Amino acid sequence: MRALNRLTIANLRKNRKRSIVTMIGVALSVALIFAVISIATSFWQTMRDYAITEYGDYHESFEFIPGDKLSIVENAAGVESVFYAKEFNFSEEYLYLAGSEMPLPSKIYEPIYSLDDSMRTADQQYVVFVRYDNPKRHERRGKDIGYALEDAEIYTYTRRTNNQLLLFDGDIDYNTTTIFACFGALILGIIVIASIFTIRNSFNISTTERTREFGMLSSVGATPRQIRRSVYLEALTIGVFSIPAGIALGFIATVVLILVTNTLLGIIQNGLSLFVPWWVYLADAVLGFIIVLLSSASAAIRAGRLTPIEAIRSNQDIKAKNKRIKTNRFIRSYFGIGGVIADKNLKRSRQKYRTTVVSIVVSVAVFVGMSSFVIDSQRIIENFYPDFGADYIVNGGDESDYDEIVKKFNLNDYVIHRSIRTAGRISVVTLSRDYFEKYAHNAGVKDDFEHAVILNSYLSETHSNGSRSFKKVLDEYKPGDDYTIKMYPDENSADTIEYKLKISAITDKNPMGTYENDNPTFYISNDYYDIKSLIFADGYSQMFANPGDQSKGITAYLLERSSEAKEGENILMGVDFKASRDQTNNIITLAAIFMYGFIVVVALIGVTNIFNTITTNIQLRAKEFAMLKSVGMTDDEFNRMIRFETILYTLRALLIGLPIGILISYGIHYLLIESNISLSYQLPLIPIIISIAVVALLITFIMRYAVRQVSKQNIIETIRQDTV
């Protein structure tokens, strides 16, 4: 057995290049698993730390507890630890907490971690903060403490629950736990299955390469069990070297991802912090060895079943029947004798052919499916955040409020919208004078802006696939015509009054602050000559602006005004549209980084094993190539043969991989539709085109590289040498 083990190690050294490529594939799989798990644990721990920073390290608090009764809480069943704070009066900022059961923010109390006897008196009251040894049982424990306090005639206590910390300490309902578990199992399952399907090719090729060696060993007494152990030893040896490297690579990748996350997002104080518990390293190593062993299992079983005669002949992969190895006329006429030989070789050795195709199929399907998810996510963002032409919106004020903001922050690019109270589907909106002049000028009005009326009767509609269409409603009107609008004098009036507007120009361009028109709209200046005759609708005034880097200043100013507003005064509300859009885009970008990182690593695992499979297959056929050349095959015919094999690999992989990828992308889209998101399905054409180009170039490059390596060998020496 020792001799067989030494022979296995010697074989790994002899085929150093193939062994290294296999190790790279295993290391990438292990690194991907490590990164996925460690990012999840880091996020979870960061959120937990954030909850502790905001509220404190406690699960529940009990308020108004006399000092001589503290032991009731301290000695209750399930209490792991406690700390205290003196009673306090809620400031105006935290007045909403009085009488509620919301957790106490850490800003409003000073923790006291021990109390001496002099402090435990009946005339002093404390807040007791409790940590339970089992957070999932906090509801029962808290009620028990409440009953004990009431038995001690303490009825005025307030019980508060720190739900955020309880969540991250494990108090999650069954359904949520199931969802997280299923999602995590799905991600890890994809990685493990994709890795096994691709890495197994390397072990199958290795077993094929050693077939004659196994036959000779069997003929001198090696048992099937010993031969299987030899294959498993090769797998374990590769795992011993590649798994630590994969863990190290995964750790580096996690650090880089966290740095990228913290650069893009600032939603959690100092950003994500790295947290990788010891069990992540252990779980990653165990999964790595499982991948290696399962990848080598089929090769080990196959090697153990070989009889000595079959192994020495090395023909177990050849399935030849006359009707199966016929070649059609197109191949014969276009690719010549080289194409015929290539076609028959692939049909005879289907196992080797399929293992290569499977590696490509997995990579293509994952790339197309996941890319479609990223593209759909971007389309959703575009639907949620349409382009109003403005980065900041202020609601709830009147013209004097907006003028104050304009002067205070010296805004130049802005517009104020005020709506006229109209009956029916016709809208009338006034625009700021300076902006209206620009808008009217673009519509063809050159002067007399106080009398100008711009009609936009082009109603636009954004469809679920992202496209927009326009239709003109009032197509019978032209510049110079009068249009009579109807207005309600006041909110309670059922009667209407009429007013005529003379149309100065008609345009299909929307002003700043308007994305789509639901109704035909007339735009006039806010100093329209007969403005006093028009009746404005209350609560329909807005200011749209592009304030540049002053958005935060405007937001702070609006918050200050709101806090100081008296009853009856306007409450101004600001929406930093650009910040919201950028924040959401950052989240999508971050998700895209994770997704494409996942795709790239899975693709790299596939590439390493495709490279391994094709190069080893070509190397095993070196004697066949030498014989063909020795009997007169020209370089042109030889190149045609290789070209045809390249085309067959590419076509078969794409014909299987692309439909699977499209099905995955549609499945993801269906899940989005189920989430009440209006979005039509779009075929992921760009990922499909990229897949076709990359697969074609990749296989062509690998085939040429492998053939070039074989071509360097001497024909006579190649024919003479043994395949083992």
Q: How many residues does the chain have?
A: 724
Comparing 162-176, 303-317, 557-571, 577-591, the range with the smallest average pLDDT is 303-317
pLDDT at 723: 43
Cα–Cα distance measured from residue 667 to residue 662, given in angstroms and rounded to the nearest whole number: 8
Contact 287, 192 (CB under 8 A): yes
pLDDT at 229: 83
Cα–Cα distance measured from residue 229 to residue 223, given in angstroms and rounded to the nearest whole number: 10
Cα–Cα distance measured from residue 542 to residue 418, given in angstroms and rounded to the nearest whole number: 7
CA distances from 522 to 270, 426, 496, 525, 527 (A): 49, 8, 18, 10, 15
Q: What are the residues whose beta carbons fall under 8 Å from the beta carbon of 165, sequence distance 6 or more?
A: 48, 51, 52, 55, 57, 58, 59
pLDDT at 140: 86
Tell me which of 52 and 215 has the higher pLDDT: 52
pLDDT at 685: 87
Alpha carbon 259 to its chain centroid, in Å, reads 17
Average pLDDT over residues 280-289: 91
Read off φ and ψ for residue 585, nearest 5 degrees. Answer: -60, -35
Q: Model confidence over 194-222: pLDDT tens digits?
A: 778 767 767 777 776 677 777 777 777 77
Crossing angle of helices 278-305 and 16-55, rounded to 10°:
150
Please give the structure tokens belonging to residue 294: 């399962």
Q: Model confidence over 482-493: pLDDT tens digits?
A: 988 888 777 667
Average pLDDT over residues 633-641: 74
Q: Model confidence over 527-550: pLDDT tens digits?
A: 898 888 887 876 678 888 988 888
Asked whether the predicted pLDDT for residue 445 surpasses 60, the reply is yes
Instruction: Say if pTM beats, i.e. exceeds, 0.85.
Output: no
Q: Model confidence over 706-717: pLDDT tens digits?
A: 777 767 766 666
Average pLDDT over residues 288-298: 86
Cα–Cα distance measured from residue 485 to residue 468, given in angstroms and rounded to the nearest whole number: 28
pLDDT at 251: 92
pLDDT at 83: 93
Asked whether the predicted pLDDT for residue 168 surpasses 70, the reply is yes
CA distances from 31 to 7, 43, 182, 225 (A): 30, 18, 21, 32
Read off φ and ψ for residue 637, nearest 5 degrees. Answer: -65, -40
- Domain residue spans in the chain? 1-52+172-316, 57-161, 326-387+577-724, 392-576
Average pLDDT over residues 171-193: 67
pLDDT at 247: 93
Tell me which of 438 and 640 has the higher pLDDT: 438
Contact 338, 641 (CB under 8 A): yes
- Which of 390, 543, 542, 386 has the alpha carbon at shortest distance from 461? 386
Asked whether the predicted pLDDT for residue 679 surpasses 70, the reply is no
Asked whether the predicted pLDDT for residue 680 surpasses 50, the reply is yes
pLDDT at 131: 92
- The overall average pLDDT reported for the chain is 78
Crossing angle of helices 211-219 and 224-264, rounded to 10°:
150
Asked whether the predicted pLDDT for residue 239 surpasses 60, the reply is yes
Q: Please, what is the Cα angle at 165 between 161 and 167, to 5 degrees? A: 95
Amino acid at 510: N
Average pLDDT over residues 335-364: 68
Read off φ and ψ for residue 610, nearest 5 degrees. Answer: -65, -45
How does strand 521-525 pair with strand 482-487?
A: unpaired
pLDDT at 469: 63
Average pLDDT over residues 680-695: 85
Comparing 329-333, 555-559, 616-620, 660-664, the range with the smallest average pLDDT is 329-333
pLDDT at 590: 66
Q: Please, what is the Cα angle at 275 between 271 and 280, to 5 degrees? A: 145
pLDDT at 285: 92
Handedness of CA 380, 384, 389, 390 (dihedral sign): negative
Our separate counts of H helices and E strands in the chain read 20, 16
Res. 579 pLDDT band, cuts 50 70 90: confident
pLDDT at 243: 92
pLDDT at 220: 72
Please give the structure tokens belonging to residue 401: 């409020």
Average pLDDT over residues 80-103: 79
For 289-420, list the strands marked E by DSSP: 392-395, 414-420
pLDDT at 84: 92
CA dihedral of 210, 212, 218, 220, whole degrees rounded to 10: -120
Average pLDDT over residues 425-442: 89
Amino acid at 637: E
Please give the structure tokens belonging to residue 222: 């090696």
Cα–Cα distance measured from residue 406 to residue 545, given in angstroms and rounded to the nearest whole number: 9
Tell me which of 522 and 513 has the higher pLDDT: 522
